[in-house]
Amino acid sequence: MQYGAENIKILEGLDAVRMRPGMYIGTTGSKGMHHLLWEIVDNAIDEAANGYADHVWVTLHTDNSVSVEDNGRGMPVGIHPQKGISAVEVIFTQLHAGGKFDASNYKYSGGLHGVGASVVNALSEWTTVEVYQDYKAYRCEFESRYDETEKKMISGDIKSHLKETGKTHKKGSKVTFKPDTKVFDMARFSFDTINRRLKELAFLNGGLNITLTDERKLDDAGNVTTVDYCYKGGISDYVEYLNSNNEPKFAPPIYLEGEKDNIYCAVAIQYTDSYTTENIFSFVNNIPTTEGGTHETGFKSALTKVMNDYARKSGVLKEKDDNFQGEDFREGITAVLTVKMQNIQFEGQTKTKLGNVEARPAVEAIITERLTAYLEDLKNTSVGELMLEKAVQAAKVRMAAKKAKDIARKKSALEGAPLVGKLSSCTGRKPEENELFIVEGDSAGGTAKQGRDRRFQAILPLRGKPLNVEKKRLDQVIANEEFRSIITALGTSIDTDFDITNLKYHKVIILADADQDGAHIRSILLTFFYRYMKQMITEGHVFIGVPPLYKIEKSSTKEVVYAYSDQERTEACARLGGRTTVSRYKGLGEMSSEQLFETTMDPKTRTLIQVTIEDAVQAEHLVTVLMGDKADVRKQYIIDNANFNKVDLFAKEKGVQ
């Protein structure tokens, strides 16, 4: 079909993007700057997803500009009938101008639907667009500049109109832009962040070649860093990659796909010997839906129904037996679900939960039909039996966990009795204002209790190191006294019984020593929250308290300053001048209650790190590597990432070996 200038529809002009960038990209920090790149990458991927391109190139330049090129159709170069300028210029200067409002141009698309290119241009110092089409090369340039006459910034203005620059055998589009430092300050493009996302996109678009080049990183021979991704197996390869640190129950993964009511759905499924309930990663039009949505609900419903029917047909479930629960079929599952559809709608503004009601019945019907056919094929009998065997074991664990919960309740473990003398609650009755400090050790816990503000701060000391839940079953987790105390204090229960509306403290702050043991305790607690109370993290309730490393006191005036890093210590000593005494804290218990409150607990002066999940797949991978039972994988990760040459500057200055 023809894709010309007349296909570009204009909804409204470009208005004050630079004045309120947060409305369009969320933040003017590093995340917002990367969002610009994702908008241009999405456009290139959409060409591939709709069958017009098979290669995308992303290049990071030394001046923090970036290029995105594809070998698709190329943007329309004709004159737009309404605007009198080229369609390329319309796309980059008019908000809500693009070819994605008409399904005849793009059946499926991600991005901001016509907002992306113009917003990228508006928030860049300069943008250059090259188009390769019909053996001709075209180029136009845009710039953001301050107009002395009008006394205001002119964003994304046309510097040179689109013109033919020569002949070429290439096809496609290339967009190069440099984010404006007036908007993004010191933000720099992160190779690791971009590398992870492009690898994910290569998995989600099987057969697509993606090349990432970083001209800022040179090897010993002076060559730039380049990585290439292409996965012929698509999401099946993705599932195998995700399970590379676990033991799969069968291989290759189950692959199902189909289309219904203009909604395309594909899923790859594989089970491992993991005790974790589920690892389902879902996407719509290549956009991660980390909070799930209607498509995920449809998949889960279909899986439960089909597997229960199969269990009865196989005789695993007798006539009088109750059906297995959905969670029984999802323990140890790793699944990648991808849906492509038109007019996608998200709940909220985070673009992480699909809201289209029509997605659920479509996905449910596709998966029901395809999974039933898969299990009826005699070649797949052994896989079906393994899935049922896994469900039987999961059901036993679920019943054991239920029994453990019941016993715990009878002992009043979930009613608060064991917490007498342990949890020091606050007097405030508004959960949204209250804070719970989970503190390492009774000594530091006692200090924290003395120093806290009792009106809104509660203290829960940990008397020992909790279990690593990554290696334990749910019933074992519930039986652990430390975790029972946390569950009771929070009031939410855990796992499938988790209910965030019962949360008693909207800030849960992990407070541990700044040493190896403290880091291990933080990791164990974060793994617990990630596995059994993930909503606590996704809704922003989990924090890490940052205690100071040094106390610097000026001898003459007794003025005291706290430093949280070696650099801060050096700066503080220089700022105070004269003779100073520097002490390094070995643990929280060394501080007085006043010092602990001032440095680590007082909302006016403390430093908190909010725990977030920016990348669900990366989070899952790291938890499995760092907390799982494969020591060789963990060792390799440490070798690859640890700085073994780091010098303890304080010890060196003190002459300690």
Residue of 515, 559, 594, 614 with catalytic role: 515
Q: Are 346 and 353 within 8 A, CB to CB?
A: yes
Bridge partners for 99 per DSSP:
none
Quick check: helix, strand or coil at residue 222?
Answer: coil
- DSSP-derived secondary structure letter, 346: B
Residue of 237, 435, 513, 598 with catalytic role: 513
Helices (H) and strands (E) in the chain, counts: 21, 23
Among all chains, which residue has been given the structure tokens 């998949």?
299
Instruction: Say how far apart CA 87 and CA 78 lie, in whole Å.
Output: 6
Q: What is the DSSP string of 518-543?
A: HHHHHHHHHHHHHHH-HHHHHTT-EE
Name the pairing type of β-strands 542-545 and 333-340.
unpaired
513 among known catalytic residues: yes
618 CB-near residues (< 8 Å, 6+ apart): 196
- DSSP-derived secondary structure letter, 610: E
Q: 307 vs 78, 236, 239, 388, 479, CA distance in Å?
A: 55, 20, 20, 8, 31
Instruction: Say how far apart CA 337 and CA 353 lie, in whole Å.
Output: 13
Radius of gyration of the CA atoms of the chain, in A = 28
Bridge partners for 56 per DSSP:
70, 210
Q: Are 110 and 285 within 8 A, CB to CB?
A: yes
Instruction: Say how far apart CA 88 and CA 66 lie, in whole Å.
Output: 19
163 CB-contact burial (10 Å; exposed 0-12 / middle 13-18 / buried 19+): exposed
Structure tokens at 570: 């050096």
Bridge partners for 440 per DSSP:
462
Structure tokens at 473: 């079953």
Question: How many other CB atoms are there within 10 angstroms of residue 486's CB atom?
Answer: 23
Instruction: Say how far apart CA 259 and CA 153 lie, in whole Å.
Output: 48
| Phi/psi at 582 (5° precision) | -110, 125
Nearest in space to 139 (alpha carbons), one of 94, 81, 75, 95: 75
515 among known catalytic residues: yes
Q: What strands lie across the sheet with 507-511, from one edge to the other?
A: 457-462, 435-440, 507-511, 542-545, 608-610
Structure tokens at 268: 């790859």
Nearest in space to 234 (alpha carbons), one of 200, 183, 258: 200
Q: 65 vs 68, 127, 141, 155, CA distance in Å?
A: 10, 9, 14, 17
539 CB-near residues (< 8 Å, 6+ apart): 500
Tell me the one-letter amino acid at 136.
K
Residue of 102, 321, 517, 594 with catalytic role: 517
Instruction: Say how far apart CA 461 and CA 440 lie, in whole Å.
Output: 6
Bridge partners for 113 per DSSP:
none
Nearest in space to 434 (alpha carbons), one of 538, 526, 508: 508
Question: Which H or E element spans position 172?
Answer: strand 172-179
Residue of 214, 331, 440, 475 with catalytic role: 440
125 CB-near residues (< 8 Å, 6+ apart): 143, 144, 178, 179, 180, 181
Active site residues: 440, 513, 515, 517
